Amino acid sequence: MRIEDHPDVAITCSDLSVARSGSGQKIRAADGVSFELAWGGTMCISGPTGSGKSSLVSVLAGERDETREVAGGEATVCGVNVRKPGRAHRVLTYRVGYLPQSAGANLPPRLNVAEIIAEPILSRDRNATGRALDLRIAALLDEVQLQLGAVDKFPYELSAGMRQRVAIARALVLDPQLLVADEPLANLDLEVRHTVFDAIVRRRAEWDMASLIVSNDPYLARELKADRMQLRGGHVVAIGSSEDVQWTPGAQEDGSLSLT
């Protein structure tokens, strides 16, 4: 399988459907989703609980989860076909930095902060230790406004907001081509939320990092000048730029479906 080093766009989805299984039969968590995300572009996905946001982005990020699978359509992310990635799955997870929902609350409890942030690097190269790695961790901690003294602390010793910032640093440690972040502002105080904005904007400007972000916070979309997609019941009800959102027939601006 040939993997493009520099595909034309970060993400291309064509009629993508994602199935989710639980205690009963499989359901379509997302159905018929089509969009493109350019390099350097940012898209914010919003919608009510259960609309399929997290299921959609986890599949696009290459997250392996037995309860979710591509049920139809196609999607290529950073040059990798997410429906059948095969050996390219490793390439996909290297090129994509993924911040899952509730990432801060689900940090590995037996690892300290330095080990948590370094884990994506060490999972690929066990010999990647020493001063260069220490400097990388220190730079990321500074970027998310955590003191260097946090490196030896364990998750239970940190506040919810600090754990979320550790998770953000971990998602960025490999300098991803694409950041997929599910509710990145969760548990963050107002005075440190700008660290998320700054991290995305700087990487977008310096090397055209693309960003796919799940958030119902309109301020985030406006600050990042992001395109917007709104889901309801697994379907796209609106999509477009912040200035020109196109609503699908039968949908209203509050995301509800019209009965007329």
Indicate whether 23 pLDDT > 70. no
pLDDT at 129: 74
Tokens of 230: 């709104």
- Tell me the pLDDT tens digit for each residue of 114-138: 999 999 998 887 777 788 899 999 9
- Tell me the pLDDT tens digit for each residue of 180-189: 999 999 999 9
Q: Which comes out higher in pLDDT, residue 127 or 209? A: 209
Domain boundaries defined on the chain = 11-247
Within 13 Å of residue 259, how many CA atoms lie on the same side as its CB?
0
pLDDT at 245: 65
**In this structure, which topology does domain 11-247 adopt according to CATH?**
Rossmann fold (3.40.50)
* C-beta of residue 64 within 8 angstroms of C-beta of residue 7: no
Nearest alpha carbon to residue 146 among 121, 102, 116, 124: 116
* CB neighbour burial string for 59-78, b if at least 16 within 10 angstroms, e if fewer: bbbbbeeeebbbbebebbbb
Number of neighbouring beta carbons within 10 Å of residue 6:
8
Mean pLDDT of 61-83: 93
Containing H/E element for 17? strand 11-20
Indicate whether 248 pLDDT > 90. no
Q: Nearest-5° angle of CA 32, CA 227, CA 238? A: 45
Distance of CA 177 to the CA centre of its chain: 12
